[in-house]
Structures are given as C-alpha cells and as structure tokens.
A and B are shown apart, each in its own frame.
Chain A
Amino acid sequence: MAKKINEAHEAGGDSVSEKNSEKRKIVVPGEVIISGEDFLPGDGTQRDGENIIAIRYGLAEKIGRVVKIIPLSGAFVPRRNNVILGRVIDFTHSGWLIDIDYAGSAFLPVAEIPRFINKNELDQFLAIGDMVAAKIWSVSGKSVDLALKGKGLGKLEGGLVFRISPSRVPRVIGREGSMINLIKDKTGCNITVGQNGWIWVKEKDIDSEIKARKVIEFVSDKVYIDGLTEKVEEWFEEN
C-alpha cells in the first residue's frame, strides 16, 4: 500500500539522480548557466538574449536541450499530483481546511470521502488536528484542492509524523524510490513522504520508528554528498 504512494511521488516530484551529478553546478540568481540558442529554459531559468540565466538558487542541470534548476532550499510550492501530508485545521459545511505548510490552506471536499458522511458530522471522519495524506488535485490562485481517491491516501492513524525541508524530499525518495525503499527494507517501517516535507513513519514498535526518523534526518542533512546510498548502508551497519 505504501509503495503505491511512493510511486505517486516519483511521478510528481523531481527525483534527483546521483549518477550524473558531475554535470551539475551550483548557481545563484542572475548567473549565466549556458550561452547559445541550442538550449531551452526550464524550471527556475529564464532566457536573456543569448544566455540562459538562473532565477533561483540551486543546482543547474542539463537534460537534453532543457536547462533547469533543482532548488536546494526554500518553502514548499504545491503542484498538481503531489502527494502531501497535512493537518486538519478547520471544517466548513462542504469539507475540511488542511494546513499543508503553504501560504493559503488546502481544501478537501466531502465528496472525496468514499462513504456517506452526514454534513453535520464531518468530524466523525476527520476532526481538527487529525493528520491526512492526500493528493493535490488542482492549484489555482490562492486555493489548493485536495483529493483523497487513491491508494494509500486517507487519514493517518498512529505512527510518527515529523518534518524535513521540502527541498530535500527528492533526495530522501531517491532515484525511482531507491533511497526510501532501502530505508523501508532496513527498518521494516511503513513510510509516507509528502512533497511538503512532512513524513509519516509507522511500525509496531516505536524504536524502529525512531530509527527510521534518524536515518531520514541523516539523509536530509547529507543531501549534497555523492554516493549517498552507500553512506546510508554504512549508517545502518553502525547503528
């Protein structure tokens, strides 16, 4: 079940590969990444006459003809199909307001719930303070709409929720989920990673949960080192 969620992350997020990192360089806003008409500006870049310049701080990457920037820091910006974790902060007559760590809260309509719910008793399903895993259905202006239809999405019961920087999420997931699957195998935990940097870990015993949290925090701290998978394997041997 949790594996399905992670596949959703890879479709929506920018999985960072570790192998071709020598091609990447750190750029600051305004810096010329590459000159010439042969390239196309992607995320975080802009064309300025002959040159493609960075408009964000991050790692510049060239994929085919497209040049884009992988952000290294910063707040979460929601995109369609992102899986996120959020906390219920309020409910209206037609749904719930969810805090997803973004300016403007997200809305989860009652229609997303697979069974019938009396509109006066919304808190029977999700009460204020409950955690939920959801998918971003649409982003328009200041409103973000969520969807709950999908495998592994829904209310989070038990377990441990903590946060990392949203820009570190791709590294924690790894290429095609390699990093997160390694962590799951070694700790035996059920893990859901939200693109907004909230992570849910669940296992029967709390020690495994704490171990999983520690290793994820280790990965998000060491985000710039190459060969991270080997480093994580070493970490598991030491601990």
Chain B
Amino acid sequence: MAIKRVSGRKADELRPIKAEVGIIPNADGSAMFSFGDTVAIVAVYGPRQLHPQHMQDPSTGILRVNYDLLSFSVSDRKRPGPSRRSTEISKVIEWALLPVLNIKDFPNTVIDVQIYILQADASTRVAGINAASMALAHAGIPMKNLVCAVAIGKLDKDLVVDVDKDEEDFEKGEGATDFPIAKIANSDEYTLMQLDGKIQPEIVKKALEMADKACDEIYEIQKKALKEVVEK
C-alpha cells in the first residue's frame, strides 16, 4: 500500500516545474529551474582566462562549479559563505556535469558555473544540476547532451519521486532516504548517485526506473525552455 504524501502527490508525481533560460543578461549563459518551492538560478561565464595561473591545464579546459545556498533560502537563516556542505555539493555537481562537456577545445581556460539556491525545499542539488545543464547549453558550450537530475526518496518502504522538505524529515518506520540521481538525457549513463539513508539493493533498480521516467519529463521541460527563449 502506497504511503500518503504530505503534499498529496502520487508516488511518481513531480512537483510543478518551472524552467527559464537567459535570465541573467551579463552572464554568457543563464537559467532558472524550480521544483515547487525549490528554486535554483545558474550563471555560466566563459570559457575565460583561468587565474591563478598554476591551475591552468594546457591539455583541457576546467569546469569550476560553485553551489551556494543563500542565507534567506531556508527558514532558519543560513550563515552566508562557503561551508563543508556547499563545497562538497559543488564538487559532485562538477562531476555530474563534466562527462557531457567537450571542454578539451578550450585549453588553459575555465568555465565558471555559479549555482544559487534562492529557495530551498529539498532536492536543491538536482535542481541546481538541471539549471546548470540548461545554462551551459545556453552559454554555447559544446556538449554531448543535457543532464537531467531528480531526487528519489524512500519513505518507510515506499519509493517516491522528487523529495520535498516534509518528506526529507519523515521519521516513521525505516525513516526517510534521499537518493539524488543525475543522468545524461536519453541514455543509461548516470553521472551522479548519492544516498542518504537506507535502501535495499532490490529496490535500487526500481528507484532507477522511476528516475528514468522523471528525467524524461524533466528533459522535455529543459528542451522546451531552451527553444522558447528563441521564439520570444
């Protein structure tokens, strides 16, 4: 028997998604992506000269991601500035995006990706990845495909898609599991898989199937947003 979600959504139902491209005029590429109350904005700059110079790599360009949860994005004010958590998330997002980028053509340069979470209601890293992949495309960076991401959750024994804050704090039975997944659109290649909580190996396969289905939906929305900005 499926669990009843606080938000009243079905197990495989995403929150309402909004996606927009070209929101920051000074950036080379920019995008906004939101899952319900989780809002991420991304600005992409580059390829541009990399400082400090010793970080330059003559064989390839470098991707530098900065994820930041803004101080007003959560109900208890977050102390501004980098933290252990934001550094870690920046790094995993970088790894999630790198496999699709062809940055070998831009030696000695850097592509800066700034991810800001304006409102946090769980699933912020996946919202960040979705927005970043749109913003990178918008910045004209050569890439193999878009990256889509979604967080699968497990509440007690039931899998749900797109976790929100109430579900993240679920405590009954086996408790809550947060399972963020990013994949390359229209392929079986996963670029991010994290796990916070407990999950049985048998269920992982089902979780991945749910993520695939959700990612297909997200991909269509990303594609639509990128195409719409042209027709405006």
Q: Decide whether A and B assemble into one complex.
A: yes
Q: Are A58 and B140 in contact (CB under 8 A)?
A: yes
A73 within 8 A of B: yes
Q: Are B46 and A55 in contact (CB under 8 A)?
A: no
A103-B145 contact, Cβ under 8 Å, with A26-B230, A28-B226, A75-B140: no
Q: Are A74 and B143 in contact (CB under 8 A)?
A: no
Using an 8 Å CB-CB cutoff, how does the interface string of A54-94 with B read, 1 for contact, 0 for none? 01111100000000000111110000000000000000000
Contacts of A31 in B (CB 8 A): 223
**Contact-size category for B:** 35 or more
Q: How far is the CA of A142 from the CA of B138 in the complex (A)?
A: 24
**Contact-size category for A:** 20 to 34
Using an 8 Å CB-CB cutoff, how does the interface string of B136-149 with A read, 1 for contact, 0 for none? 01111111111000
Tell me which of B29, B107, B184, B227 contacts A73 (CB under 8 A). Answer: B29
Q: How far is the CB of A107 from chain B (nearest CB, A)?
A: 14
Tell me which of B48, B100, B140, B230 contacts A56 (CB under 8 A). Answer: B140
Contacts of A75 in B (CB 8 A): 28, 46-48, 139-140
A44 within 8 A of B: yes
A104-B49 contact, Cβ under 8 Å, with A31-B223, A74-B29, A142-B107: yes
Contacts of A73 in B (CB 8 A): 22, 28-29, 138-140
B124 within 8 A of A: no
B102 within 8 A of A: yes
Q: How far is the CA of A120 from the CA of B168 in the complex (A)?
A: 68
Which residue of chain B lies nearest to A58 when distances are taken between CB atoms in the complex? Answer: B140
Q: Which of B50, B58, B145, B185 has the most CB of A within 10 A?
A: B145
A218 within 8 A of B: no
B186 within 8 A of A: yes
Contacts of B48 in A (CB 8 A): 75, 103
Q: Are A28 and B49 in contact (CB under 8 A)?
A: no
Q: Are A224 and B28 in contact (CB under 8 A)?
A: no
Q: Are A57 and B58 in contact (CB under 8 A)?
A: no
Contacts A26-B230, A29-B145, A224-B232 known; 10 new A-B pairs at CB < 8 A: A28-B223, A29-B137, A55-B142, A56-B140, A56-B143, A74-B139, A103-B50, A104-B108, A105-B49, A142-B108
The 5 nearest A-B residue pairs measured at CB: A74-B140, A30-B145, A103-B109, A57-B137, A142-B108
Task: Give the interface of A toward B (CB within 8 A).
Answer: 26, 28-31, 44, 46, 55-59, 71-75, 103-105, 141-142, 167, 224
